Structure 1
Amino acid sequence: MTATSIRQSTPSSAEIFRLAWPLGLKAMMLHGIVVIDAWLVSALGEESVAAMGLAATVGGLLLGVLFAFSNAAQIRIAQAYGSGDPVSLKTGAYIGLLINLVSALLGILLVWIFGDRVIEAFAHTPDIAAQAVSYLSVFMWVVLMEAVAQCLGSFFNGCGRTTLPAYSYLIAIPINVAVSYSLIHGHYGMPEMGVAGAAVGSAISSLTRALFLGAHFLRLTGGYRDVTGWRNGTFGASLHRHLVFAMPIAGQFISMVIVNNICMFIYAKMSVNQFAAMTLINPWVMVAGNFSTAWGMATGIAVAQMLGNGQSGPELNVFLRRAWWGAFVAALIVAGCFLALCLSVDAIYASLGTETRAALVSFLPVLLLMPLLRGSNIMCGHTLRAGGDTLYSMNVHVLTQWLFRVPMVALFVLWLDLSATWVFSLILFEEALKFPFFHRRVLQGEWRKGPAEE
């Protein structure tokens, strides 16, 4: 096969972009919900922002678990789609949905038992604790609805139909903004609910998304009612095999979410202004960073489909070189977004105190450097997971998170009492630690063999 024919047989940059832009738009809108809610709540003052950040830390832990298992299901579905096996597609969809629903219900039960005590232990004042509890109690409906919506979205992503999950957010976000704005401030005859109003808006938008995606799933697949059997013979065996594949992926994401939330709880020990700055910047990091994440995820979907179709040689090399250049461009776009944000802080958060806005601007050097390292690490992670090398990817993330980030955040905040600027810089150093481990593994190429035969 000539170099020209290889290039023509692999997904082009335009095809990756067609996969990536809906993923990026969807992820930006997902995290944009938090940014919008935080902006709407910011008019109530730093204490309300802190209350929302504290409650969102607990709720985000549960959503992170759902995202982790949905990401694993997405890879399985992409491999099944590449092989053209409808039984495998049906298995990935229904087992992924079952795992998400069980995870959501267990998480809601734990929050019902322990949530109030956790929030009260970390809140600066009883009023912040009360606002956080009111937000969290409503947010549990978001968790339940997202258990369904995230799984269905991953199904469409794995099949290459990434626009449908993006469309679901285009429908849901205006509903979220309108309902949240009305209920937070009591406009248009609605009750004034404060911080809890933002959670109600998010719950209604999540329900809308789940219904939209569920209707399209039934319309396009018929619920696979005419497909008999399961991928590994029985439902139990298929569930076991899915969990064996998914647990390292889920473990990585769950570890990341747990670490993020532990760090947020430690951040809560900073001054209210410094904590508010950390609460406000984190959603922006996730929103802008989704340019790189979406490109990496689209690359992973394409790699999984190529491996499922038996393409693991020169054509895969050509594809990855092309995809890595796209990742570099995405990183530059992310850095530009961060620059625009820091130049606009005074206009966006005019109602907040001077110390809070100054802390946000001080994050700029880290925000400009971080996308290049993180973007390349993201590409490595999704490539390894697409090839079934899930355990190594998990180990790199888990070890750097628990052996570096958590101890250093505790040291910087609880013992050295450093500013938010220094604390925020730790995410840059964490990405630098991951860089050589990820890139060496990708170059070794064991992941090209694909997942083990089942």
Structure 2
Amino acid sequence: MTSSVGQGRQPTSEPTARTVFALAWPMTIKAIMLHGTVVIDAYLVSSLGETSLAAMGLAAAIAGFVLGGILAFSNAMQIRTAQAFGTADPVFLKSVLSAGLMISLAVGFVGLALISLFGGTLIAAMAPNAEVAELATSYLTVFSLVILGEAIGQCLSSYFNGCGRTKLPLYSFCLSVPVNVTSSIILIHGYFGLPAFSVTGAAMGSALAVFVQVGFLIWRLVRLDGYLRRVVGWRNGTFGPTLKRHMAFSLPIAATFISATFSTHICMLIYAQLSLNEFAAMTLIAPWIMVAGTVGMQWAQASGIIVAQLLGQDHSEEALDRFLSSAWRGAFVAAGGVAAIYGVVCLSASVLYADLNIETQTILFGFLPLLLVLPFPKGSNAICGNTLRASGDTIYVMHVFVWSQWLFRVPATAFAVITFDLSAFWVLSIALWEELLKFPAFHTRLYRGDWKRAKIAE
């Protein structure tokens, strides 16, 4: 079979913002669908009542920590694959795929072991009653299959993204979502003569869906890159050093995403100390910030993939500058689109949330000035961070993110809410101040230009 790496390495022309768009839109739709699936699952279970919904939420929160670890390492896999794909070295590509899959499975198995050892105790301590604890334990037992499936699926999705085949993970999700919804409805309520599994049926539906998703990805991997099984050798001599090198590259990126997850959860706990209306407004705006912000973040990730490929191909500094300038202009357009979505949400608060208290609607409308500005420094910082990661400057990026989160965002949120009793507007403004704090650290590093001289192929 002819190597798909060789076929895809040499572009007919220099990539531009249009190239980024071709990679970014499937990634964006998949990310939005992923967030939407969580909402759909909760909606399906909500018909069973508050007890089942609480059980699902409790089990999902525990499983979420393991899935978060898998997703964190998959982000590193995406960049590393792009570097390998750019070099057109099949040994490098095989090494990245094998090492990334090994690490992802290890994270999944370690997470499942921890859930097996401590999950029951944690559920018993957190559940409001014995019925919720029993349902949550049953849900989590079946959901363990989803965790194992995601360990493989997220790794393969990141591999395809890094190779520029971002439509394949989207296709896998388009296949799995209908399976998830249909099978969950049948298994929850016991249609077509099947037993009614209640909330556990939702976990079964998710497990069936992830098997479909992983099966599709494995099929495409065998068809497109099956030749890698016959490639002899490893990137760093033997598999042990190759795995160690991949882990060294991945850990700073994974730590960045894990830190972001933990700091966000802690801030949400602090938000609970706000007044009822302010906390409700913060709870409502958070999903919009996450979902709409996906547009800018996926654009930045797609830009990082292309930078990694260009560095692997050893393109000139001038070509890298031209591409990044084009990608940056596109990032500002994406930021404008995100700001427009925020504007519509804030201006339509009285319509979207007509059943809520007028004070809550007013607070949501008051977020408008912040949300119109936030996407621009956030998008620019994301371009910098993903470009630096693509060049291998992962530890510096980790430090910028981690220290801004734990030395600024978390303590500033605690002081604003608990000590100074500031309004929700000023609490939300901390997100903007955090981006402004990171701005000089990222941009001075990028403008220094060392990233353009990274030798990925060596």
Q: Which residue of 2 aligns with 1:405?
A: 409
Match of 1:332, SS? helix
Q: Which residue of 2 aligns with 1:31?
A: 35
CA contact 1:217–1:223 (8 Å) conserved in 2: no
In 2, Cα distance between equivalents of 1:186 and 1:341: 38
In 2, Cα distance between equivalents of 1:397 and 1:39: 34
- CA deviations 1:11-58 (Å, max 9, x no partner) are 022221111111111211222222333455566788876765554443
In 2, Cα distance between equivalents of 1:316 and 1:446: 12
Q: Which residue of 2 aligns with 1:110?
A: 114
Residues 442-451 or 137-146, more deviating: 137-146
Q: Which residue of 1 aligns with 2:3?
A: none
In 2, Cα distance between equivalents of 1:47 and 1:385: 44
Matched, 1:309 2:348: no
CA contact 2:76–2:253 (8 Å) conserved in 1: yes
Match of 2:304 among 280, 297, 300: 300
Matched, 1:445 2:453: no
Q: Which residue of 2 aligns with 1:380?
A: 384
Q: Which residue of 1 aligns with 2:7?
A: none
Alignment CA distance shift 1:271-1:304 (3 Å): same
Residues 271-280 or 330-339, more deviating: 271-280
Match of 2:153 among 142, 149, 154: 149
Give the aligned length.
Answer: 448
Q: Which residue of 1 aligns with 2:172?
A: 168
Q: Which residue of 2 aligns with 1:212?
A: 216
CA contact 1:327–1:376 (8 Å) conserved in 2: yes
Tell me how far 1:145 sits from its aligned partner.
Answer: 1.0
Matches within 5 A, 1:47-66: 54-66=58-70
CA contact 2:409–2:434 (8 Å) conserved in 1: yes
CA contact 2:304–2:387 (8 Å) conserved in 1: yes
Matches within 5 A, 1:314-353: 314-342=318-346
Alignment CA distance shift 1:184-1:160 (3 Å): same
Tell me how far 1:123 sits from its aligned partner.
Answer: 6.2
CA contact 2:391–2:454 (8 Å) conserved in 1: yes
Amino acid at match of 1:241: R
In 2, Cα distance between equivalents of 1:199 and 1:317: 47
Q: Which residue of 1 aligns with 2:435?
A: 431
Matched, 1:222 2:220: no
Tell me how far 1:315 sits from its aligned partner.
Answer: 1.1
Match of 1:70 among 48, 69, 74: 74
Q: Which residue of 1 aligns with 2:181?
A: 177
Residues 385-394 or 112-121, more deviating: 112-121
Tell me how far 1:182 sits from its aligned partner.
Answer: 5.0
CA contact 2:270–2:413 (8 Å) conserved in 1: yes
Tell me how far 1:210 sits from its aligned partner.
Answer: 1.0
In 2, Cα distance between equivalents of 1:8 and 1:296: 23
In 2, Cα distance between equivalents of 1:213 and 1:223: 16
Tell me how far 1:149 sits from its aligned partner.
Answer: 0.5
In 2, Cα distance between equivalents of 1:429 and 1:226: 52
Residues 322-331 or 239-248, more deviating: 239-248
CA contact 1:50–1:276 (8 Å) conserved in 2: no
Tell me how far 1:114 sits from its aligned partner.
Answer: 2.9
Q: Which residue of 2 aligns with 1:245?
A: 249
In 2, Cα distance between equivalents of 1:346 and 1:195: 34
In 2, Cα distance between equivalents of 1:218 and 1:337: 40
Q: What is the aligned-residue RMSD (CA, Å)?
A: 3.5
In 2, Cα distance between equivalents of 1:235 and 1:187: 49
Tell me how far 1:170 sits from its aligned partner.
Answer: 1.2
CA contact 2:391–2:456 (8 Å) conserved in 1: no
Q: Which residue of 1 aligns with 2:4?
A: none
Match of 2:230, SS? coil
Residues 37-46 or 156-165, more deviating: 37-46
Residues 205-214 or 157-166, more deviating: 205-214
CA contact 1:54–1:265 (8 Å) conserved in 2: no
Match of 1:75, SS? helix
Tell me how far 1:328 sits from its aligned partner.
Answer: 0.6
Alignment CA distance shift 1:237-1:71 (3 Å): same
Alignment CA distance shift 1:261-1:184 (3 Å): farther
Residues 179-188 or 288-297, more deviating: 179-188
Amino acid at match of 1:75: I
- CA deviations 1:226-257 (Å, max 9, x no partner) are 11111111000111111111111111112112
Match of 1:225, SS? helix
Match of 2:253, SS? helix
Residues 169-178 or 117-126, more deviating: 117-126
- CA deviations 1:254-284 (Å, max 9, x no partner) are 2112222333455566788876765554443
Match of 1:258, SS? helix
In 1, Cα distance between equivalents of 2:227 and 2:343: 46
Q: Which residue of 2 aligns with 1:89?
A: 93
- CA deviations 1:105-150 (Å, max 9, x no partner) are 1112222333354456566777776665555444333221111001
Q: Which residue of 2 aligns with 1:3?
A: none
In 2, Cα distance between equivalents of 1:344 and 1:177: 29
In 2, Cα distance between equivalents of 1:437 and 1:319: 22
CA contact 2:143–2:204 (8 Å) conserved in 1: yes
Q: Which residue of 2 aligns with 1:285?
A: 289
Unpaired runs of 5+ in structure 2?
A: 1-10
Residues 232-241 or 128-137, more deviating: 128-137
Alignment CA distance shift 1:154-1:410 (3 Å): same
Identity over aligned pairs, percent:
52
Matched, 1:262 2:239: no
Alignment CA distance shift 1:218-1:126 (3 Å): same
Unpaired runs of 5+ in structure 1?
A: 1-6
